[in-house]
Chains A and B, each alone.
Chain A
């Protein structure tokens, strides 16, 4: 062979080799294009049924298979539920829609799908009955086998990790050995993305179900909470009147206006008075809570010099502090501290904090201070009491929460500080607590925006 002949042979070889490479690339391009289509479906469709339906129709249209179907395993992995079934000609599928196809037991020893899922391996079924029976009646299988000319059925299990998710079933009018390079490439590339897409859709469905359940539970809880608030309001009002009567008569008895008392009677009446006070405090707090939670809390904000209010409450508590052998000092600015507040509510807040300070302090005293700073009026109530732990500080202002020191006092409702913070917030202020820990005392600080 001459030089020219050798060159021609080499050029032909190169040409053919390039063709082979290009053919491989063409298959890859087609596969990628189909994957892109499927990917587009999985991104767009959120519901499982809609998504698998679009996938099987896309595959069916691309390859003109007699049928393509997808079934998904139930949560326990015991049954396969058919989700989508696409035929070249819908009229040849008498058993459709897919909802009318019975779920398939995955324990079956003869069904090709059950066998493929259990072994996690693809299978080829030579008869339609071994795939579709007993999901559809035998007479329908026979009719479909005749009209669709299915010669072999490819069963491709969809597996995530070791967990079977479902199955992709492809009915072909030729032998499975006649798969083209494009088809082989497509099936190996497509199984993973389809499995992930199905899992994504299932997660979305679960999320939707959970959100619905939570919404319903929330609705029920709101209704229950409203009922509870209503009950509290009614019950508290009903309790307040007899309590006021009891308090009045105990006061009369204790004053001696209804006859002299022996010391034991006086002591007993004292205990009754304490108990009644505690009940009145609880009822008042419950009423406040019910007003706050039902949105019936009415604030009548008026410009007020709050020094007078704090002074009045401090004087009122002074007697109780002295009884307990505690000092109670009050330090205030000499100029007016004008703030928009609801007078009665502010008194209630001051009363709560000062009463708590005296109640939780055994030795030492309570220091009350008012000052202005950065457009705010601030009030602090510091005591030398038992102090607060970090856990106390975190939960103290929550409803029905009492501090670690509450076991040392008799009268506590677990509502006082919750009411304090809610009332302060309703007046545009804040309430916080500070403490260095157990045994170091505590300080409660209130802030009010100063009137400009």
Chain B
């Protein structure tokens, strides 16, 4: 699993803890993300824009608190990621 996939999975799973299965449905609407029936995640495209799209998808529905949940979700993974793959919204 790539680093970006790990970040996406962590964000969706933590959002699922807050809003339930809706987290997966909303993630499926993000351009460049494909969510399989078994919650398998496929990333196709630029990491930064996909991650930004995902964060904004939740933000559009639930406001700034959802951005904080995304940030907290990936906090422990960021030190292992390369700087250019992480969008500013998660830093």
Contact = CB atoms under 8 A, between A and B. Distances in A.
A382 to B, nearest CB: 85
Contacts of A181: 68, 72
B19 A22 contact: yes
A30 B72 CA distance: 13
B77 interface: yes
A29 interface: yes
Contacts of B80: 173
6 closest cross-chain pairs (CB), A and B:
A180-B72, A173-B79, A19-B62, A26-B17, A16-B63, A22-B18
Contact of B76 (A15, A20, A63): A63
A301 interface: no
Given A15-B61, A19-B62, A19-B65, A26 B14 contact: yes
B77 A16 contact: no
Nearest to A62: B76
A61 to B, nearest CB: 12
22 contacts: A16-B63, A16-B65, A19-B18, A19-B61, A20-B65, A22-B18, A22-B19, A23-B18, A23-B65, A23-B66, A26-B14, A26-B18, A30-B17, A64-B76, A65-B76, A151-B79, A173-B76, A173-B79, A174-B75, A174-B76, A180-B75, A180-B76
B78 interface: yes
Contact of A29 (B17, B61, B63, B68): B17
B35 interface: no
Contacts of B66: 19, 23
Interface in B58-91: 61-63, 65-66, 68-69, 71-72, 75-80
A95 interface: no
B78 to A, nearest CB: 7
Contacts of A16: 62-63, 65
A371 interface: no
A173 B76 CA distance: 8
A344 interface: no
Interface of A: 15-16, 19-20, 22-23, 25-26, 29-30, 63-65, 149, 151, 173-174, 178, 180-182
Contacts, number: 48
B91 to A, nearest CB: 10
Contacts of B14: 26
B62 A178 contact: no
A151 B80 CA distance: 13
Contact of B63 (A19, A26, A149, A173): A19
Nearest to A25: B18
Nearest to B78: A174
B79 A23 contact: no
Contacts of A151: 79
A19 B58 CA distance: 10
Nearest to A151: B79
Given A19-B19, A22-B18, 12 more contacts: A19-B62, A20-B65, A23-B69, A26-B69, A30-B17, A64-B76, A173-B76, A173-B79, A174-B75, A180-B75, A180-B76, A181-B68
Interface in B13-49: 14, 17-19
Q: Taking each of B18, B68, B71, B80, which has the highest tally of chain A beta carbons within 10 Å of its own beta carbon?
A: B18
Contacts of A22: 18-19
Contacts of A30: 17
Contacts of B76: 63-65, 173-174, 180
B3 to A, nearest CB: 13
A174 to B, nearest CB: 6
B7 to A, nearest CB: 13
Contacts of B17: 26, 29-30
Given A22-B19, A26-B14, A26-B17, A64 B62 contact: no
A30 B14 CA distance: 10
A23 B68 CA distance: 10
Contacts of A25: 18
A153 to B, nearest CB: 14
A65 B68 CA distance: 20
